[in-house]
Amino acid sequence: MGMINALVLEEMFLKHYQEWCLLSFSYVGNIDDSKDVVQNIFIKLLQKEFDAPIIDLKKYINTCVRNESLKRIEKRQKTFSLKNYTTEVSSYENELIRSEISDTLFRHIDALPDHSKKVFKLCVLEGIKYESAAEIMGITVNTVKYHLKKSFKLLRLNLKDVYLWFL
């Protein structure tokens, strides 16, 4: 039994934080929720003891981000149905902002080069493993990784202003 090295986690957090926020955002549609999801995962990882070492930590965290984002959506849907609709004055404005962000995000995803867009949709939005995406597209796993890296680089560059505005 052991814990994950805090320095390794810190390095992963700094290197991939925006990427994981974007992944979570693609599910939850709210930048604050996506940041909470990613930060909560790292807090849990720092405190958790594991029976066996994690072979691919990045892949493990990707899965955690996806699962926590889906839990967040489910929790939000349950609490939303219990809320009194008249108490939220700004919910319409928040919904408009969320809608604008989603539209902007998906517009930039659609603007990606064809192969990069297809790989991004398969691996990030649908959660398909790199190996499966490579088979589906008839390319190598390294090419899948290349297209994902290219996609995230372009999205970070194009969404920098949107992302910083919501920080």
Q: Domain 103-167, what fold?
A: Arc Repressor Mutant, subunit A (1.10.10)
| Token reading at 25 | 């955002």
Nearest to 20 by CA among 75, 64, 57: 64
**Strand (E) or helix (H) holding 22:** helix 6-28
pTM > 0.85: yes or no: no
| Token reading at 39 | 């930060």
In terms of C-beta density within 10 A (0-12 exposed, 13-18 middle, 19 or more buried), how is residue 94 classed?
exposed
Per-residue pLDDT 10s for the chain (167 aa) are: 456 677 887 888 888 888 888 888 888 888 888 889 988 888 888 877 766 777 888 888 888 888 888 888 877 776 555 544 444 445 656 666 666 666 777 788 888 899 888 988 888 877 788 898 899 889 999 999 999 889 888 888 877 666 544 44
| Token reading at 74 | 């489910």
DSSP secondary structure letter of residue 117: H
The answer to whether residues 28 and 69 touch, using CB atoms and an 8 Å cutoff, is yes
